[in-house]
Amino acid sequence: MSQAELENRIKGMIEEIEQARVNLSQGKDFGLEAIGERVAAACAEVTALSDEDSVELRPILETLRTDLINFSEELGEISRRLKEIEDQEAEAAKEAQNEAQNGDEG
């Protein structure tokens, strides 16, 4: 695969991540099917290029890496918030159950 083809493929993955972030913010399925495997394959193909060509792709690979890290952090934050909500709901249900039991005893 040529440098230009790889650059286009990597740019496509960056655009996918940007769209995934938009979809996530709207509560939609964010996709990114097999993104890890596709990134790994692109990186392997970059290493197969000449040193000169692979060095030229470094900035776009850094952009891809940064976008993936940021998206991962956003998913982690959402997961943490969902866990907090679940914990609060479980605590509220437990308190309601205790109040109901205490009301039955009184």
Q: ∠52-53-55 over CA atoms, to 5°?
A: 65
CB 38 within 8 A of CB 13: yes
DSSP 33: T
pTM of the model: 0.78
Measured in degrees and rounded to the nearest 5, phi and psi for residue 29 equal: -60, 130
Q: Return the domain boundaries, the chain.
A: 3-78
List, for residues 54-91, the tens digit of each pLDDT value. 999 999 999 999 999 999 999 999 899 999 999 999 99
Q: What is the rounded CA–CA span in Å between residue 94 and residue 67?
A: 41
Q: Stretch 23-51: mean pLDDT, rounded?
A: 92
Residue 21 has, within 13 A of its CA and on its CB side, a CA count of 14
